[in-house]
Amino acid sequence: MAKYKERSAVISQEEIAKDIYSLWIETAQIAREAKAGQFVSLYTADGGKLLPRPISICEICREESKLRLVYRVTGKGTGTELFSRLKEGDEISVMGPLGNGFPTDRREKAFLIGGGIGIPPMLELAKELDCEKQIVVGYRDECFLREDLERYGTVYTATEDGSAGVRGNVLDAVRENGLNAEVIYACGPKPMLRAIKNYAQEKDIPCYLSLEERMACGIGACLACVCNSAERDAHSNVKNKRVCKDGPVFLASEVEI
């Protein structure tokens, strides 16, 4: 798949929860090619920060050539903190679309499960899937994107502090609401994905996981973001897969978490 590096104009940006920002950018080519589950690499204007920051695609508007990126600011002086200062009319260097996204041609009754900053990719996936969708989202406390997701499926919520939905995690929400599905799509922290993989194995249903790993190049050259795999990788000849190039979406059976 083609990837592009371009200067993108900022359309708008807002903080939608504490340290969670929603950024719309205009792209000449990336939005046309992007798919649910892929990501882009954003470059800061700070010459001391040479490596780009990978951010998952939250929404795609091909008709207006724009992308929505929802990300968390990870600390003062970080690349994400610099991105949070962007305002309408600013420009930023973007490379993408990168990685392999979710399959969107399946029609089975589905779980779309997102945890924390793994929730944003579920929005474009919910838009693209043509099936019955049960969207299960897990938060530490403050909720975001829930109303957006409700436009495309039934949303079930879990929070660690019990402030919204079920107290606990996403699988607690699945069990307490008596939910079932024929396929699972998930993105979130590794402990959540590990539990979902085990759940899918118990239920004997296909499961697609989008892994979160620290990335450097974003294009598969540096091997900084490898994960353990069930089969040998043709690139490295060991049981590794590159999350940025071979993923970030994998069949659960392909990877060891």
Model pLDDT, residue 109: 98
Model pLDDT, residue 28: 85
Which residue type sits at 122? M
Q: What is the architecture of the domain spanning 4-98?
A: Beta Barrel (2.40)
Model pLDDT, residue 45: 83
Distances in Å between the alpha carbon of 194 and those of 97, 170, 181, 201? 27, 12, 18, 11
According to the CATH classification, is domain 110-256 in 3.40.50.80? yes
Model pLDDT, residue 232: 64
Average pLDDT over residues 148-172: 96
pLDDT band of 239, cuts 50, 70, 90: low
Model pLDDT, residue 84: 96
SS3 (DSSP) at 83:
helix
pLDDT band of 217, cuts 50, 70, 90: low
SS3 (DSSP) at 75:
coil
With tokens 């798949």, the residue in question is 1
Q: Is the model more confident about 35 or about 223?
A: 35
Residue 37 · residue 210 · CB < 8 Å = yes
86-126 tens-digit pLDDT: 999 999 999 999 999 999 999 999 999 999 999 999 999 99
Around Cβ 80, how many Cβ atoms within 10 Å? 17
Average pLDDT over residues 205-214: 86
Question: Who's near 78: CB < 8 A, 6+ residues apart?
Answer: none
Residue 120 · residue 60 · CB < 8 Å = no
pLDDT over 70 for what percent of the chain? 86
Q: Which of 110, 111, 168 is nearest to 139 (CA)?
A: 168
pLDDT at 179 over 90: yes
Model pLDDT, residue 73: 96
Q: For 14-18, 195-199, 243-247, which range has the lowest pLDDT when averaged over its residues?
A: 243-247
Question: Who's near 198: CB < 8 A, 6+ residues apart?
Answer: none
Q: For 44-48, 124-128, 169-173, 203-207, which range has the lowest pLDDT when averaged over its residues?
A: 44-48
- Strands 207-210 and 249-251 turn out to be antiparallel
Positions of CATH 2.40.30.10 in the chain = 4-98
Model pLDDT, residue 225: 60
pLDDT over 90 for what percent of the chain? 75
For the four alpha carbons of 155, 156, 157 and 163, in that order, the dihedral sign comes to positive
Model pLDDT, residue 235: 61
Positions of CATH 3.40.50.80 in the chain = 110-256
Average pLDDT over residues 192-203: 97
- State the average pLDDT for the chain: 90
